[in-house]
Amino acid sequence: MKPFEVVEAPIDAQVYSDYVLHAGAGAVTLFTGHVREWTHGVRTVYLAYEAYVPMAEKKLAEIGAEMEAKWPGVKAAIAHRIGELHISDIAVVIAVSSSHRKAAYEANEYAIERIKEVVPIWKKEIWEDGEEWLGAQKKYPEKGVDSV
Amino acid sequence: MIRVQYFARLRELAGKGQDTLDREEMTVQQLLDWAEETYPGFGKDDIQVAVNEEYALPEDVIHSGDECAFIPPVSGG
């Protein structure tokens, strides 16, 4: 594995958690984002993720560097899966270790917010009666786009 | 030659993943204008351009040999 990567195979979150753990770490936060079946009353059959892979991996690594600058001493690993994902599959994993828990919690949430802003990855929702790339927000414009 | 890549909605709209433009130099804004003209409904006002895997500004100049990508609003996570 690479600490900041886009993958096609199913994600094993433990691998990323193990990567960030070290003797000086008193806390590890492990966030996994999953494919949700129901969004605003619309049933998702599956999601199709696409990425501009080299740039996405570069941006994930930049987010890692931002985290280390804001919370000195944290160690991070992030992976995002692309391709066809089904209900409850892991789409993204963020593992963060720190000497004390507060930094690990804060840095982890920061990472997912930044992923949604700057990493060139796109999600298409496939429903029983149609499909749409998110970001366009046509199906439920009043609600905006949630996380998976 | 300037190489451009399309992703997600734009890839489906263009019907392909990439194009090659026979230009020596153009600005990011000119590239967006070209795309809007070539692919009606492109929606250039909501699209960013990456040049060599870095987000670029409308006035930035693209040179022959650069790798460009149209980045529609992202929706990872």
Q: Give the start-to-end residue ranges of the domains of chain A.
A: 4-36+52-120
Q: How many residues does chain A have?
A: 148
Let me know: does B30 contact B44? Beta carbons within 8 Å. Answer: no
Note whether A116 contacts B69, CB cutoff 8 Å. Answer: no
Asked whether residue B35 is assigned to any structural domain, the reply reads: yes
CA A21 to chain centre: 19
Chain B nearest-CA distance from A27, in A, is 23
Residue B76 located in a structural domain: no
**Residues B16-73 pLDDT 10s:** 999 999 999 999 999 999 999 999 999 999 999 999 999 999 999 999 999 999 999 9
Whole-prediction pTM: 0.93
- What ipTM does this complex have? 0.96
Bridge partner list, A83: A49
Nearest CA in chain A to B55: A118
- Does B56 map to a domain? yes
- Per-residue model confidence as pLDDT tens digits over A9-66: 999 999 999 999 999 999 999 999 999 999 889 999 999 999 999 999 999 999 999 9
The residue segments making up the domain with residue B55 are 2-71
Of the candidates B60, A53, B15, A103, the residue with the CA atom closest to the CA atom of residue A61 = A53
Tell me if B22 is assigned to some domain.
yes
| Distances B26 to A104, B30, B37, B39, B40 between C-alpha atoms, Å | 44, 6, 15, 18, 20
Residues in chain A within 8 Å Cβ distance of B7: 50-52, 120, 122
Contacts of B12 in chain A (CB under 8 A): 133
- By the CB < 8 Å criterion, does A118 face chain B? yes
**What domain count does chain B have?**
1
In a domain, B29, yes or no: yes
CATH number of the domain to which B46 belongs = 3.10.20.30
Tell me which fold the domain A4-36+52-120 belongs to.
Aldehyde Oxidoreductase; domain 3 (3.90.1170)
CA separation, residue A77 to residues A47, A68, B10 (Å):
23, 11, 30
Contact (CB<8Å) B71/A120: yes
User: Rounded to an integer, what distance in angstroms lies between the CA atom of residue A98 and that of residue A76?
Assistant: 9
Region for B4 from its dihedrals, namely left if φ exceeds 0, alpha if ψ lies in -120 to 50, beta otherwise? beta
